[in-house]
Amino acid sequence: MSKLFECIDVSKTFTIDKSPIEALKKVNFDISLNSSLGIIGPSGCGKSTLLNLLAGLDDPSSGKIIYKGSYISSMTNDERAIWRNEDLGFVYQFHHLLPEFTALENVSMSLQISGVSKSNSFERSEEILEKVGLKERINHLPSELSGGERQRVAIARSMVNEPTCLIMDEPTGDLDTNNASIIIDLILNLIESKDISLILATHDMVFANLLDNIIDLSNG
Ligand SMILES: Nc1ncnc2c1ncn2[C@@H]1O[C@H](COP(=O)(O)OP(=O)(O)OP(=O)(O)O)[C@@H](O)[C@H]1O
Ligand SMILES: [Mg+2]
């Protein structure tokens, strides 16, 4: 099966006040196209750091990350931005919604950037917001939404352009059990029906066990 991502001896060290913090130490794994991978491990073990590296938002201190046969490090910042918009859907741990735009506008932004008309992109965004249970909230600003509702807007935003790969950082972290299971079903249905790969950091072992593979960063 062809590989989507390959991580070879990936390490990341941050330096704070001249003292090094080893966030990731020689991480090795690969993920095939159309498969799902859960990244687990205790708080601070480097899950978010790894997801940022996979999305090209930051660079490893050493080691290589390869996406469909190409080194991410060889892409310019502009190339990375286009690649992220076209191939990846990213859900940040802390949402990162644009505060001055409504839920609908936040979700439709990437479609409009990639050239889809405003009316068409609103239509598709409304559909997906309805799927995550936010039909009544589409014209609300992030500040007018609860934490869990913001999380669901971020999830809708990551899925709307049907990316090759979803990268999600604890997408059910802020949700109650009921909404978490709705979102888990939605994510799993979507990746199956649209042949999307999924890389997901989670503390939820029930969710992680539904995925094809798991890597545990606490063993690093
Ligand atoms: N920008 C940064 N500068 C310095 N240190 C950082 C930075 N980002 C992360 N770290 C450190 O790297 C380590 C890994 O952080 P990371 O956010 O990847 O953990 P995590 O596994 O996602 O944790 P959580 O489950 O709490 O979200 C932590 O010790 C953290 O303090
Ligand atoms: Mg994290």
Map out the domains of the chain with their CATH numbers: 3-219 (3.40.50.300)
Q: Which pTM does this prediction carry? A: 0.91
Q: Residue 97, Cβ neighbours under 10 Å: how many? A: 23
Identify the residue whose C-alpha is closest to ligand 1 atom 31: 44
Amino acid letter, 108:
S
Distance 133 CA to ligand 1 centre (A): 31
Query: Among all ligands shown, which has an atom nearest to the Cα of 217?
Result: 1
Based on its alpha-carbon atoms, the radius of gyration of the chain, rounded to whole angstroms, reads 17
Amino acid letter, 141:
L
Q: Residue 124, Cβ neighbours under 10 Å: how many? A: 17
Distance 172 CA to ligand 1 centre (A): 19
Lowest-confidence segment of 4-8, 45-49, 59-63, 215-219 by average pLDDT: 215-219
CA distance 10 to 26: 5
Interacting residues of 154 by C-beta distance below 8 A, sequence separation 6+:
91, 92, 95, 96, 97, 171
Write the pLDDT tens digit of every residue in 41-57: 999 999 999 999 999 99
Q: What is the dihedral of CA 134, 139, 145, 147, to 10 degrees?
A: 60
Identify the residue whose C-alpha is closest to ligand 1 atom 1: 14
CA distance 165 to 187: 12
Residue of 12, 13, 16, 21 to test ligand 1 pocket, by largest number of atoms within 8 Å of CB? 21
Contact 201, 46 (CB under 8 A): no
Binned at pLDDT 50, 70 and 90, residue 72 comes out as: very high
Contact 33, 2 (CB under 8 A): yes
Residue of 45, 167, 218 to test ligand 1 pocket, by largest number of atoms within 8 Å of CB? 45
What's the pLDDT score for residue 220?
A: 54
Scanning the structure block, which residue is given the tokens 């090795």? 28
Tokens representing 64 are: 């290589």
Contact 16, 36 (CB under 8 A): no
Indicate the SS3 state at residue 144.
helix
Ligand 2 (ion): which residues have CB within 5 A?
47-48, 93
Identify the residue whose C-alpha is closest to ligand 1 atom 25: 43
Identify the residue whose C-alpha is closest to ligand 1 atom 7: 14
Write the pLDDT tens digit of every residue in 149-204: 898 899 899 989 889 999 999 988 878 888 888 888 888 988 888 889 999 999 98
Residue of 49, 200, 217 to test ligand 1 pocket, by largest number of atoms within 8 Å of CB? 49
What's the pLDDT score for residue 178?
A: 86
H or E stretch including 205?
helix 205-208
The strand ranges marked E within the chain are 3-16, 19-32, 36-40, 62-67, 70-71, 88-91, 165-169, 197-201, 213-216
Ligand 1 site residues, Cβ closer than 6 angstroms: 14, 16, 21, 23, 43-49, 93
